[in-house]
Amino acid sequence: MHPYLARCVVTGVVGVTLAVAGTALTPDTAIPSPSASPSVVAASNAPTVSANANFAITRVGAQPALRAATARSVAAQRASRSKARLRATRAASTWVWPVSSVSLGERFGASGGNWSSGQHTGQDFDGDTGDSVRAVTSGVVIFAESLGRRGIVVQLRHKGGIETWYCHLSKVDVAVGDTVTTGQRVGRIGTTGNVTGSHLHFELHTSPKVAVNPMPWFKRNGLGN
């Protein structure tokens, strides 16, 4: 430890010690009368300090108490921030994959003739007809019917305005307006629409007409690499 700091610590200890002695200075014993009994004089011998010194002692004594209160306050703030971070982490991790057994199929952005736009607008998940399709996070059902090449589609709107679309379904388990929880089954994998076999075509939209790669979103929410 640095010598200067060591000295500071010693000074602090002296302050505490004096403050303890100061607390023994009650009005009865601080100013012993000449006729006081020997026992009273003995008691008042310990704090042999002047009134000014007593004032100084009180102030010195208050500082450790203030420091302790400040330390408690800082600790409480840290604990509060830590809890907030934990809550944020939990909230952020309340995503699940849309299928229970994840096997990734065609990736987002792949190009080819299979897609009307020339590019794949979602991420495919392999699966068999009838497998459960789950809400990746809580939201509200905004669409649940056939939608052209995407076949039967369930669309959910989530916090922040993002949407998740579940396509080519064989069955729908929710209705428009329903509130769904994370992991709740919204339908079943199927082969409706423009497909070559059963799978889930999953889209993530940052606005109704803008599909983005969902994989970074899964990663951000604690899933995948």
Query: In whole angstroms, how close is the CB of 174 to Zn ion at the nearest point?
Result: 21
Using the minimum distance from each CB to Zn ion, give the nearer residue, 122 or 139: 122
Q: Look at the block and give the residue holding tokens 């450790």.
A: 64
Q: 53-86: string of b/e by CB count within 10 Å (b at 16+)?
A: eeeebeebbeeeeeeeeeeeeeeeeeeeeeeeee
* Three-class secondary structure of residue 32 per DSSP: coil
Residue 194 C-beta: closest distance to Zn ion, Å: 9
Q: How far is CA 73 from the centre of its chain?
A: 21
- Whichever of 197 and 222 has its CB closer to Zn ion, that residue is 197
Q: Could you give the CA distance from residue 61 to residue 76 in angstroms, rounded to a whole number?
A: 23
Q: Which is nearer to Zn ion, 61 or 151 (CB)?
A: 151
Rounded to the nearest whole angstrom, what is the least distance from the CB of residue 218 to Zn ion in the complex? 16
Task: Name the minimum Å distance from CB 145 to Zn ion.
Answer: 18
**Residue with tokens 């929410």, as numbered in its chain:** 221
Give the Cα separation of 32 and 159 in Å (integer).
74
Nearer to Zn ion, 122 or 214 (CB): 122
Q: Rule CB under 5 A: say whether 203 interacts with Zn ion.
A: no
- Any contact of residue 201 with Zn ion (CB under 5 A)? yes
Classify 21 as helix, strand or coil: helix
Which residue lies nearest Zn ion, judged by its C-beta? Answer: 201
In the complex, least distance from residue 105 CB atom to Zn ion, rounded to whole angstroms: 7
Residues 81 to 140 in contact with Zn ion, rule: CB under 5 A: 122, 124
Nearest CA-CA partner of 127 in 150, 153, 101: 101
Total binding residues for Zn ion by CB under 5 A? 3
Instruction: Give the residue with the Cβ less far from Zn ion, 38 or 148.
Output: 148
150 near Zn ion, rule: CB under 5 A: no
What residues make contact with Zn ion under the rule CB under 5 A?
Answer: 122, 124, 201
